[in-house]
Amino acid sequence: MAEIVKFKVFCLEQYKHKHNMKGNETLQLFKKYGVFEYLGSFYDILHSYGAGYLVQDIDKFIAARKI
């Protein structure tokens, strides 16, 4: 369980830096669109990918949820 939490924090930090966002702003975005649940549900697959891919994947996930 601790590994999943670390992974979620890693993804949040990578996303924040890539999009030049503040921590709280990124946290609210992730909560609004269910990104943490997504990352937890697909941890087994996603944790093996690099930071660049993860940020792109999260962008696609959020875009799909906005529709």
Chain segment 6-65, per-residue pLDDT in tens: 999 999 999 999 999 999 999 999 999 999 999 999 999 999 999 999 999 999 999 999
- Give the global pTM: 0.93
Whether residue 8 contacts residue 37, with contact meaning beta carbons closer than 8 Å, is answered with no
CA distance 33 to 45: 20
Whether residue 43 contacts residue 6, with contact meaning beta carbons closer than 8 Å, is answered with no
Q: Where are the domains of the chain?
A: 2-66
DSSP secondary structure code for residue 49 in this structure: S
